[in-house]
């Protein structure tokens, strides 16, 4: 068949028409009032930013395959609930709003900045959401929610109040993971590792005139040193235990303590405990009830002596220089090690005591892990990742953020007696900054909480199944702006169409990373064109055919439909198992190889020359098998399948969209042997013709093995016509002779 190439603009316009059709018909509408089962899909809402990135296109396409599959599975019996949301909470939004409007939130009145956030979001959200629509993501966009909207605020504040009343949320001055760039406390889940080059120094502490060498990458913490730890088994330092040691350069004394956590093998075996270098220090200080010395301000400058106002890295350099000039450095080596950075801004994190709100989670670890076991994970190995993540949580969940744009923590605190005052439920959502409260005891005006809340988990896990997508890579590497290997999905959609991009996204198994490869997108585009051409060819001959099944079917058609049944059976199971990549290759292979290359060629003769019964059987098989193929690939390629459905099928089929039609059912089990034998003979003959440099339609005498004939009963006429055999004979062996 001909492959007519389309220009990109044409493709784009056709998809646009389909998008308008879906919007007009409200194809993906979720009707609350309708009865029946509901398959609901909860996705992590994307943060509104200028452009959708290719990782979004990848993971949302994969979710959408499943959403569309279930919508067809449930057709007539139930619905898919697939709302769309945007995450507008907190930091990323504030940064974007600052960038777009060229302002700094710190330099504006709080209420003015919040208004600006709301105004900016209103302006940029529609264009952002449109990119999801363009990709064919089949959410009901009427259920557009934002994590900052009134309803989300209300739900969130209500659960805060419930947790507070249950004693599960508390406020505490606590060394918190702190970002000095964003000037906010952050959660452990917001950390990333980064490999960093540092100077690893061994410096000279002293006690009773003897040296205690200690290695560190952070000498600027010397003024915050509160103790030295040595391992009880370390014979090198037995003499120092219980004594005081002098901190180099600063001259004050700290106790030398024994602690099992001091690693004999690491560095010099002796270690300094500072308040606070890392999580380890926080635990050590609390374990030994040491009094912390806090030397950093919230903006990451030092507050100590001659270092006052200096940035951490500058202070480090100055202290190293001074240590050298006083002869206190014993050794220096370059080192590359992993440091914790804030995932939003890439700044190395610090630990600083701040007043924060926490939710108790540590006592829930076991419960969460057992809840995780009740969920079906796709792919299964992601459960282990979840378990490890839960096991690794060392702190209660810090939910407060020192930002402006987020969900306000709904409390006031009495200035006099420090009583915490909660709002009434009917006041929710509430902004404590805008509502005054009086302490019921002291009759004093209470101080509003200025912090906002980041989202947190529900008490129970509300999903039955979870699917987790991998990452998009470029030649095996993670995409990043700095590497210059970023692909813009909007440009790909513009150039090749959304179906082609989705075809690529269906190429990896769930949870696996996928390289962006333009060839794969192109293969998707070719598939779109072939579907279109094959459909045009089929319906050029079918014209007014109504799709009714004839009483008598030709044997070959029966066998072909049985083979299709097997594909339906496999694809259904693959989609149910979230194995859309396998479904894709199954359909792809069946369509190209069996439908286009073989079946269409085989029935051509009957379509043109057959008697009424032979023709009707062929018409039905063409009509039905093409429709089935379209339905099977519809979850992955929603645009082209809809286009063909509307053009050729809509007038006979009852559903107004292919995506609301019923998923094909497997009718009966096929006997694969007969059709396989048929194809084998067909392909052998094609090979022989081509080896002998004969045209494909040249006439032959065909001899078939005697034992094969019974399997091909009822299909010999079709075979005869498709290979142009003058005669089919029975013999000892398979033979092809040319008549000329």
Binding positions for Zn ion, rule: CB under 5 A:
179, 181-182, 342, 345, 347, 414, 416-417, 419, 439, 441-442
Q: Please, which residue, 12 or 298, has the CB nearer to Zn ion?
A: 298
Q: Which is nearer to Zn ion, 179 or 498 (CB)?
A: 179
- Ramachandran category for residue 26: left, alpha or beta (phi over 0 → left; psi -120 to 50 → alpha): left
Considering beta carbons, is residue 179 or 271 the nearer one to Zn ion?
A: 179
Residue 191 CA to residue 75 CA, distance in Å, equals: 43
DSSP-assigned letters across all residues of 34-94: --SEEEE---PPPBP-SS--HHHHHHHHHHHHHHHHHHHHTTTTEEEE-EEEEB--HHHHH
The helix (run of H) or strand (run of E) holding residue 695 is none
CB of 358 vs Zn ion, minimal distance in Å: 20
> DSSP assignment, residue 379?
S
Supply the minimum distance, in Å, between the C-beta of residue 441 and Zn ion: 5
Comparing CB distances to Zn ion, the nearer of 36 and 440 is: 440
- Residue (of 66, 653, 113) closest to 378 by Cα position: 66
Least separation, in Å, of the C-beta of 87 and Zn ion?
A: 17
**How near is the Cβ of 178 to Zn ion at its closest, in Å?**
9
> For residues 411 and 644, which CB has a smaller minimum distance to Zn ion in the complex?
411
Helical segments of 497-554, H only = 498-505, 518-542
**Interatomic CA distance for residues 177 and 398, integer angstroms:** 9
Q: Minimal distance in Å, beta carbon 345 to Zn ion?
A: 3
Tell me the β-bridge partners of 702: 728, 736
| Closest to Zn ion by CB, 402 or 431 | 402
Least distance to Zn ion, CB of residue 443, Å: 8
> Cβ 471 to Zn ion, closest distance in Å?
22
On whether the CB atoms of residues 151 and 145 are closer than 8 A, the answer is: yes
At its nearest, how many Å lie between Zn ion and the CB of residue 15?
39
The token duo for 332 is 């220096």
Sheet strand arrangement including 412-414: 420-421, 412-414, 446-448
87 vs 577 by CB, closer to Zn ion: 87
Question: Which helix or strand (DSSP H or E) is residue 102 part of?
Answer: none
Select 179 or 634, whichever has its Cβ closest to Zn ion.
179
Instruction: Tell me the closest approach of the beta carbon of residue 195 to Zn ion, in angstroms.
Output: 18
In the complex, what is the shortest distance from the CB of residue 404 to Zn ion, in angstroms, rounded to a whole number? 15
User: Of 426 and 481, which CB lies nearer to Zn ion in the complex structure?
Assistant: 481
Taking the complex as a whole, the smallest distance from the CB of residue 52 to Zn ion amounts, in Å, to: 23
Contact 608, 600 (CB under 8 A): no
C-alpha span between 358 and 431 (Å, rounded): 19
- Token readout for 474 is 């470029």
Which residue has 């519809």 as its token pair? 634
Minimum distance, C-beta of residue 356 to Zn ion, in the bound complex (Å):
16
Other C-beta atoms within 10 Å of 715: how many? 21
CA 551 to CA 617: how far, in whole Å? Answer: 9
Q: Which alpha helices (H) appear in 290-352, and where do they start and end?
A: 312-325
Q: What does the block give as tokens for 354?
A: 């701040």
CA torsion, ordered 306, 311, 316, 319, to nearest 10 deg: -10
Contact 682, 719 (CB under 8 A): yes
Q: Whole-number minimum distance, CB 417 to Zn ion, in Å?
A: 3
Give the nearer residue to Zn ion in terms of CB position, either 178 or 397. Answer: 178
> Shortest approach of Zn ion to residue 53 CB, angstroms?
20
Could you give the CA distance from residue 210 to residue 213 in angstroms, rounded to a whole number?
A: 10
- 30 burial type by CB count under 10 A (0-12 exposed, 13-18 middle, 19+ buried): middle
Q: How far is the CB of 89 from Zn ion (least distance, A)?
A: 15
The H or E element that residue 681 is part of is helix 672-691
Identify which of 73, 139, 81, 79 has the alpha carbon closest to the alpha carbon of residue 574: 73
SS3 532: helix
Shortest reach from residue 496's CB to Zn ion, in Å: 37
Indicate the residue among 184 and 565 with the shorter CB distance to Zn ion. 184
Where does 380-488 have alpha helices with state H?
382-391
C-alpha 140, offset from chain centre: 19
State how far the Cα of 163 lies from the Cα of 655, in Å rounded to an integer.
Answer: 48
Q: Which is nearer to Zn ion, 74 or 312 (CB)?
A: 312
Residue 15 or 94: the one with the smaller Cβ distance to Zn ion is: 94
H or E element that contains 333: strand 329-342
Instruction: CB nearer to Zn ion: give 179 or 682.
Output: 179
| Minimum CB distance to Zn ion smaller for 149 or for 181 | 181
215 DSSP β-pair partners: 202
By C-alpha distance, which of 305, 312, 296 is closest to 250?
305
Nearer to Zn ion, 155 or 417 (CB): 417
């Amino acid at each position: 068949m001909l492959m007519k190439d389309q220009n990109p603009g044409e493709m784009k316009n056709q998809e646009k028409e389909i998008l308008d059709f879906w919007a007009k018909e409200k194809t993906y509408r979720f009707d609350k009032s309708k009865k029946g089962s509901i398959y609901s899909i909860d996705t992590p809402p994307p943060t509104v930013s200028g452009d959708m990135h290719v990782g979004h296109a990848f993971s949302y396409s994969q979710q959408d395959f499943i959403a569309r599959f279930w919508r067809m599975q449930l057709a007539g019996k139930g619905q898919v609930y697939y709302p769309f949301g945007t995450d507008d909470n907190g930091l990323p939004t504030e940064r974007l709003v600052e960038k777009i409007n060229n302002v700094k939130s710190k330099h504006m009145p709080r209420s003015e900045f919040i208004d600006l956030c709301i105004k900016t979001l209103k302006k940029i959200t529609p264009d952002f959401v449109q990119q999801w629509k363009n990709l064919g993501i089949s959410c009901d966009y009427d259920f557009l929610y934002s994590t900052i909207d009134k309803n989300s605020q209300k739900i969130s504040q209500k659960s805060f109040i419930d947790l507070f009343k249950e004693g599960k949320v508390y406020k505490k001055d606590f060394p918190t993971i702190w970002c000095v760039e964003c000037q906010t406390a952050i959660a452990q889940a917001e950390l990333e590792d980064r490999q960093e080059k540092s100077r690893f120094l061994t410096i000279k502490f002293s006690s009773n005139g003897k040296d205690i060498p200690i290695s560190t990458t952070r000498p600027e913490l010397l003024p915050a040193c509160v103790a030295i730890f040595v391992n009880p088994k370390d014979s090198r330092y037995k003499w120092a235990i219980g004594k005081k040691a002098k901190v180099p350069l600063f001259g004050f004394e700290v106790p030398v303590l024994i602690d099992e956590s001091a690693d004999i093998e690491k560095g010099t075996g002796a270690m300094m405990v500072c308040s606070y270098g890392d999580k380890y220090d926080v635990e050590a200080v609390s374990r030994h009830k040491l009094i912390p010395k806090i030397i950093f301000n919230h903006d990451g400058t030092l507050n100590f002596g001659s270092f006052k106002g200096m940035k951490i890295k500058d202070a480090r350099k100055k202290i190293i220089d001074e240590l050298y000039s006083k002869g206190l450095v014993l050794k220096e080596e370059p080192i590359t090690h992993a440091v914790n950075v804030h995932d939003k801004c890439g700044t190395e994190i610090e630990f600083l005591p701040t007043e924060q709100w926490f939710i108790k989670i540590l006592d829930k670890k076991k419960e969460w892990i057992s809840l995780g076991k009740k969920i079906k994970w796709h792919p299964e190995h992601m459960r282990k990742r979840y378990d490890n993540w839960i096991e690794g949580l060392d702190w209660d969940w810090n939910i407060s953020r020192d930002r402006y744009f987020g969900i306000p923590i709904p409390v006031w605190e009495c200035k006099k007696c420090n009583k915490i005052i909660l709002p009434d439920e009917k006041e929710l959502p509430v902004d404590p900054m805008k509502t005054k409260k009086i302490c019921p005891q002291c009759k004093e005006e209470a101080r509003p909480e200025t912090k906002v809340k980041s989202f947190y988990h529900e008490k129970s896990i509300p999903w039955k199944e979870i699917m987790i997508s991998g990452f998009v890579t470029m030649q095996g590497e993670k995409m990043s702006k700095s590497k210059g290997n970023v692909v813009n999905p909007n440009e790909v959609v513009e150039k090749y169409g959304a179906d082609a991009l989705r075809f690529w996204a269906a190429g990896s198994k769930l949870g696996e990373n996928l390289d962006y490869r333009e060839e794969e997108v192109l293969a998707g585009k070719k598939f779109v064109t072939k579907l279109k051409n094959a459909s045009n060819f089929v319906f050029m001959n079918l014209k007014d055919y109504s799709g009714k099944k004839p009483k008598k079917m030709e044997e070959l058609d029966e066998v072909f439909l049985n083979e299709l049944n097997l594909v339906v059976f496999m694809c259904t199971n693959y989609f149910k198992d979230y194995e859309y990549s396998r479904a894709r290759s199954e359909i792809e292979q069946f369509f190209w190889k069996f439908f286009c290359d073989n079946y269409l060629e085989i029935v051509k003769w009957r379509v043109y020359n057959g008697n009424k019964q032979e023709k009707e059987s062929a018409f039905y098989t063409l009509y039905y098998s093409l429709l089935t193929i379209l339905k099977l690939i519809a979850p992955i390629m929603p645009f082209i399948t809809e286009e063909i459905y509307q053009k050729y099928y809509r007038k006979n089929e009852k559903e107004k969209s292919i995506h609301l039609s019923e998923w094909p059912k497997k009718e009966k089990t096929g006997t694969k042997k007969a059709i396989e034998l048929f194809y084998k003979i067909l392909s052998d003959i094609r090979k022989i013709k081509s080896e002998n440099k004969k045209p494909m339609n040249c006439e032959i005498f065909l001899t078939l093995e005697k034992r094969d004939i019974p399997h091909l009963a009822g299909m010999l006429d079709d075979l005869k016509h498709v290979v142009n055999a003058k005669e089919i004979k029975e013999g000892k062996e398979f033979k092809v002779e040319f008549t000329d």
